[in-house]
Amino acid sequence: MAPKLSLPKSLAFIPVFLAGAAFSIPVTQLLPTIAQPQQQVSQIPGNNSNFIAAAVEKTGSAVVRIDSTNPGSRFNSSRRRVQRGVGSGFIINENGTILTNAHVVKGASKVRVTLGNGRNFSGQVLGTDELTDLAVIKISANNLPKLKLGNSDNLKPGEWAIAIGNPLGLDNTVTAGIISGTGRSSGVIGSPDKRVRFIQTDAAINPGNSGGPLLNQRGEVIGINTAIIGRAQGLGFAIPINRAREIAAQLIDGKQVQHPYLGIGMTTLTQETKEDLSQRNNFRVSASKGVVILDVANNSPAARAGLRIGDVIEQIDGRQVATADELQKLVEKSRVGGNMTLKVNRSGRNLNINITPGQFPVSQS
């Protein structure tokens, strides 16, 4: 296979399969923090003077603390080291279904869920999805408080955002800010292995907030707090609740979460891109717009369909695609095992190529 094409760091590189970030930005994944002694949650006064306090009073009892126990891989004095962490989550129905992050419960041998009133439960992990960093936990209880799920599709920068969680073991900590941005691709924030278009917020998020809710001013869940960018302030990211709702439904039903992929590295074709490809790779692209393929993964759907480095994808199923971001969204909305027809410009020739999206491969380690 021909070597992959190289681009300067100034050009966006959005991978469909291959790992590759658009920018080299250090990202701190919000791993569960070191466990701290359980603290008594203070009650919120009933006489609220602002909408943030009102939203917290309405929702705080449904935000939970998740303590996980994960046997480590190292031994010390013939004793296996045990790693303990603290994360957050929230109840979505009265029968004890809880949403959190996959990394909060990853590898955990035990999960303990603590409600706002101090009641403790043993939690069963119903399923996890590494690619969206989502997990569902079930506890045996009834008549529990729950959070109302909002709509994350129409969020606008500048709207209020309220985060509740257990940062550094400090239970039911509340922070507030605004929605700073939406549709942040995983590659742009430095986590190219995720299939999420994150909500960005400046509400303070710290280790231990992972899995907790991001609320709007009405107290509805609009996101699940997940990540921060290291050495930065006011750069927190959350999984949009509409995306989380789709994934959670599959996990609750015991299904494998569907993540269609093609297996290409790609970038939006611009005049700058064309000039750079010509200068750095002695490769000429005749098309004027579309998405140019920079790499094709071995044994991928793209390789089996005959796609090549340098091909420019101009349409998917008759729909024009002008940017790599648009193409990525269309692939994500497709079906594993389904059929797609790509209109491709290959060295000036127009081709129609049929391709069958596959299931995004995930490392089992």
Element holding 251 (H helix, E strand): helix 241-252
Q: Are 269 and 290 in contact (CB under 8 A)?
A: yes
Query: Is 103 annotated in the active site?
Result: yes
What b-and-e string marks burial along 190-207, b requiring 16 or more CB atoms within 10 Å of the CB? bbbebbbbbbbbbbbbbb
Query: Is 325 annotated in the active site?
Result: no
Q: What is the DSSP letter of 360?
A: P
What b-and-e string marks burial along 3-38, b requiring 16 or more CB atoms within 10 Å of the CB? ebbebeeebbbbbbbbebbbeebebebbbbbeeeee
Q: Are 134 and 126 in contact (CB under 8 A)?
A: no
The SS3 of residue 324 is: helix
Q: Are 343 and 350 in contact (CB under 8 A)?
A: yes
In order, the DSSP letters of 48-114 are -SSHHHHHHHHHGGGEEEEEEEEEEEEEETTEEEEEEEEEEEEE-STT-EEEE-HHHHTT-SEEEEE
Span 119-164, pLDDT tens digits: 999 999 999 999 999 999 999 999 999 999 999 999 999 999 999 9
Burial of 177: CB neighbours in 10 Å, binned 0-12, 13-18, 19+: middle
Which is nearest to 239 in space by CA: 250, 227, 251, 231?
A: 227
Q: How far, in Å, CA of 178 to CA of 223, rounded? A: 13
Domains with residue ranges and CATH for the chain: 148-252 (2.40.10.10), 261-359 (2.30.42.10)
Average pLDDT (32-53) is 50
| pTM, full prediction | 0.75
Q: How far, in Å, CA of 259 to CA of 360, rounded? A: 5
Q: Are 33 and 169 in contact (CB under 8 A)?
A: yes
Q: Are 128 and 102 in contact (CB under 8 A)?
A: yes
Contacts of residue 47, defined as CB under 8 A and 6 or more positions apart, other chains included, come to none
- Residue whose pair of structure tokens reads 């070191």 in the numeric block: 34
pLDDT band at residue 302 using 50, 70 and 90 as cut-offs: very high
Q: How far, in Å, CA of 308 to CA of 311, rounded? A: 6
Letter for the amino acid at 232? A
Single out the catalytic residue among 152, 180, 186, 210: 210
Among 44-48, 111-115, 166-170, 316-320, whose mean pLDDT is lowest?
44-48
Q: How far, in Å, CA of 273 to CA of 263, rounded? A: 21
Span 172-188, pLDDT tens digits: 889 999 999 998 877 77
Span 5-22, pLDDT tens digits: 555 443 433 333 222 223
Q: Are 109 and 119 in contact (CB under 8 A)?
A: no
Query: Is 253 annotated in the active site?
Result: no
Share of the chain above pLDDT 70, in %: 79
- Residue whose pair of structure tokens reads 């006064």 in the numeric block: 45
pLDDT at 31: 42
Span 328-359, pLDDT tens digits: 889 988 999 999 999 999 988 999 999 999 99
Single out the catalytic residue among 88, 103, 129, 191: 103
The two tokens of residue 180 are 């700073």
pLDDT band at residue 80 using 50, 70 and 90 as cut-offs: low
Q: How far, in Å, CA of 114 to CA of 40, rounded? A: 11
Q: How far, in Å, CA of 219 to CA of 303, rounded? A: 47
Single out the catalytic residue among 61, 67, 129, 133: 133
**Angle formed at CA 291 by CA 290 and CA 297, multiple of 5 degrees:** 155
